[in-house]
Amino acid sequence: MFLNETQEEVRATTRSFVNAVVRPAAEALDREERFPAEIYEEMGKLGLFGIAVPEELGGPGFDTLTYAVVMEELSRGYASVADQCGLVELITTLLVRHGTPEQQKLLPSIMSMQQKVAYCITEPEAGTDVSGIRTTAVKDGEGWVLNGGKIWIHNAPVADLGFVLARTDKEAGNRGMSIFIVDLHAKGVERGPKEHKMGQRASQVGALDFQDVRLGPNALLGEMNRGFHMMMSVLDKGRVGIASLAVGIAQAGLEAAVEYAGTRKQFGKHISEFQGVQWLLADMAKDIEAARLLVYAAAMKIDHGLDATRSCSMAKCFAGDMAVARTADAVQVFGGSGYIRGFEVERLYRDAKITQIYEGTNQIQRMIIARELLKKGATA
């Protein structure tokens, strides 16, 4: 009803790929904390990276709603795989909007995963409050010299290209940051060890250290000192992506729970016949659907060029909270089995938690919703 024929087809093709390739691999990838290069290579061939890149630049040129559909389907298979798609989507969106023709030549290798990217904002002293970053880029002849450090950067242990937010004007606050494209194999770049995480364990996350890294004149992405605003300008879309990812995790939990409830017997009956279990399933289904519709609404607002900030924060916040609560229900339906490694719902519960934290914590989403409410009024 909400999706057109093309979006349905994208969903169908993504789903069949996910069912055959991604979902069956998730358990082992989680256990081994392994970067699934072979899956990403295939996804690159299928055009699942850089979904909104316009056709002139070699992408499929899909809208935000289609992106949301793809994210949910990928995440239904494995959230780490969806998060890789989300990361590439952010980077390619920045390159399409702000890149020079020279910089846009990077797009094909990024979309095929020949070059792995990292989006480098967070620092030890600057998490939620991005204005606290201390990494600096100082003008030096034609180029710049980069110094500082980033933490918890997705893909840091394996990435080839970093898109790094650095301070370029100490006095100018949010108007004194710029984004640089950094060759992470260059002299002066050090990588920390990969972190061992609660969930999404196939995502490689770690620290990056920059010591006198020399950047050429082409390294600056977009306008000087506009990095913070460029970053904020893709946040809405990023939040739709993470909200969709959360919906996908919960959807996988619902599917598993419904199937299990229909096969597990206690007291001589399938546990699906007990009202106590039925209500768990019903609550899961209705909240997942509500979150999905919030995601669609937010995505459609972006696609129609409307003010989407409030909707995107609502979708991200609701979907993240929902995914944590409803995957906990999925564990509950499985009883003791749901607590044991190797059962999908046990992983889903762990994978869900980060959706309340990254891409702006859910407290921050609530702050944004309230700010919008108080500024623009409560009328729907």
Interface with other proteins (CB under 8 A): 5-6, 8-10, 12-13, 16-17, 45-48, 51, 55, 59-62, 70
Site string for ligand FAD, 154-183 (x = CB under 6 A): x-----------------------------
Which residues, in sequence order, are bridge partners of residue 177?
A: 167, 226
Q: Toward other proteins, which CB reaches closer, 51 or 151?
A: 51
Rounded Cα–Cα distance for residues 102 and 139 (Å) = 21
* Distance (Å) of CA 141 to CA 81, 135, 148, 180: 41, 19, 20, 16
Smallest CA-to-CA distance from 329 within 252, 263, 264 is with 252
Rounded Cα–Cα distance for residues 248 and 288 (Å) = 9
Site string for ligand FAD, 199-238 (x = CB under 6 A): ------x---------------------------------
Neighbouring residues of 79: CB distance < 8 A, sequence distance ≥ 6: 199, 200, 245, 248, 249, 351, 352
Phi/psi-derived region of residue 196, left when phi > 0, alpha when psi is between -120 and 50, beta in every other case: beta
**CB–CB of 11/73 below 8 Å?**
yes
The least distance separating ligand FAD from the CB of residue 149, rounded to whole angstroms, comes to 12
Which residues, in sequence order, are bridge partners of residue 183?
A: 161
Residue 56 interaction partner, one of other proteins, ligand FAD, none, beta carbon < 5-8 Å per kind: none
Strands 161-167, 117-120: pairing is parallel
Q: Toward ligand FAD, which CB reaches closer, 226 or 292?
A: 226
Give CA torsion, residues 111, 112, 115, 116, to 10 deg: 70
Which string of DSSP letters, residue by residue, matches 155-213? TTTT-SEEEEEEES-TTSGGGGEEEEEEETTSTTEEEPPPPP-SS-TTS-EEEEEEEEE
Residue 197 interaction partner, one of other proteins, ligand FAD, none, beta carbon < 5-8 Å per kind: ligand FAD
Residue 47 interaction partner, one of other proteins, ligand FAD, none, beta carbon < 5-8 Å per kind: other proteins
Residue 264 interaction partner, one of ligand FAD, other proteins, none, beta carbon < 5-8 Å per kind: ligand FAD
Residue 6 interaction partner, one of ligand FAD, other proteins, none, beta carbon < 5-8 Å per kind: other proteins
* 363 touches ligand FAD by CB under 6 A: yes
The least distance separating other proteins from the CB of residue 353, rounded to whole angstroms, comes to 30
Site string for ligand FAD, 245-284 (x = CB under 6 A): -------------------x-xx---x--x-xx-------
Residue from 197, 226, 316, 350 in contact with ligand FAD (CB under 6 A): 197
**Beta carbons within 10 angstroms of residue 253's beta carbon:** 30
359 flagged as catalytic = yes
How many residues are recorded in the chain? 380
Rounded Cα–Cα distance for residues 277 and 259 (Å) = 12
Residue 191 interaction partner, one of ligand FAD, other proteins, none, beta carbon < 5-8 Å per kind: none
The least distance separating ligand FAD from the CB of residue 341, rounded to whole angstroms, comes to 11
The least distance separating ligand FAD from the CB of residue 222, rounded to whole angstroms, comes to 17
The least distance separating other proteins from the CB of residue 64, rounded to whole angstroms, comes to 14
Q: Which of 73, 89, 123, 359 is catalytic?
A: 359
Task: Tell me whether residue 131 is exposed, middle or buried, using C-beta atoms within 10 angstroms of its C-beta: 0 to 12, 13 to 18, 19 or more.
Answer: exposed
Site string for ligand FAD, 101-140 (x = CB under 6 A): ------------------xxxx----xx------------
Residue 13 interaction partner, one of other proteins, ligand FAD, none, beta carbon < 5-8 Å per kind: other proteins
Site string for ligand FAD, 316-345 (x = CB under 6 A): ----------------xx-xxx-x------
Task: Tell me whether residue 158 is exposed, middle or buried, using C-beta atoms within 10 angstroms of its C-beta: 0 to 12, 13 to 18, 19 or more.
Answer: middle
Residue with tokens 């909400």: 2
**CB–CB of 193/206 below 8 Å?**
yes
Which range, of 107-115, 235-243, 299-307, 359-367, touches ligand FAD by CB under 6 A?
A: 359-367
Structure tokens at 213: 């890294």
Chain contacts with ligand FAD (rule: CB under 6 A): 119-122, 127-128, 152-154, 197, 205, 264, 266-267, 271, 274, 276-277, 332-333, 335-337, 339, 354, 357-358, 361, 363-364, 367
Give the residue numbers marked as catalytic. Answer: 359
